[in-house]
Amino acid sequence: MSRRSATIGAMSLGARRHRGGARGHATENPQGGRRPSGVVDATSSAWQLVVNYAKQETLEPLKGLGRYLIFAVAAGVLGTAAALFWILAVLRVLQDETGSTFHGHLSWLPYMITIVVALMIAGVTGWRILRGEASRGGESLPAERS
C-alpha cells in the first residue's frame, strides 16, 4: 500500500470517527488545520445527494426503457420474418402462376422483380422511419400518461 493511499485511508477513518460529534465542534484536518465537523457532514450529505440523483436520473429510466426495448426487438424480428415470407411469396407467384412467361431465357426475371420489390419495400420503410420521426417533432417514444 502506498503512502498516499494510507493517508487517504487514515483521513476517511478520522472523518468517520468525528462524524458522531456534535455540530460545530472542530476536527483535525490532515494538513494540520482545524475545520468544523459541520463541513464534513455537509460534504458527505451533498455527495450522497449527488449519487442518489445520478441513480434516479440514469438507472431508473433505463429500467423502464427495457420493456420498450424488448417489444421493439421482438417486433423487429417478427416484422423482418414476415417481410421475408412475403418476398418469397412474390417470387413463388412469379415462378408458378405466370405460365410460360418467365421460362427459357427470361427465367432470371422473377428474381430481378423480387429484388426490386424488396428494395422498394426497404426504401419506403426507411423513408417512413425518417419522415415519421421528423413529423412527430423528434419524439421517438410515446409520452407516458399519468
Ordered DSSP codes for 23-44: TT-EEE-TTS-EEEHHHHHHHH
Helix, coil or strand: residue 140: coil
pLDDT tens digits, one per residue of 55-99: 888 887 887 788 888 999 999 999 999 999 999 999 999 999 988
Q: Which residues, listed in sequence order, are joined to residue 28 by a DSSP beta bridge?
A: 34
> Among residues 41, 54, 72, which one has the least CA distance to residue 140?
72
Query: What pLDDT does residue 115 have?
Result: 97
Question: Residue 90's closest CA among 127, 116, 125, 126?
Answer: 116
Query: pLDDT tier at 31 (50, 70, 90 boundaries)?
Result: low
State pTM to two decimals. 0.49
Which amino acid does the sequence have at 51?
V
Of 40, 43, 46, 45, the closest CA to residue 28 belongs to: 40
The greatest distance separating any two alpha carbons of the chain, rounded to the nearest whole angstrom, comes to 100
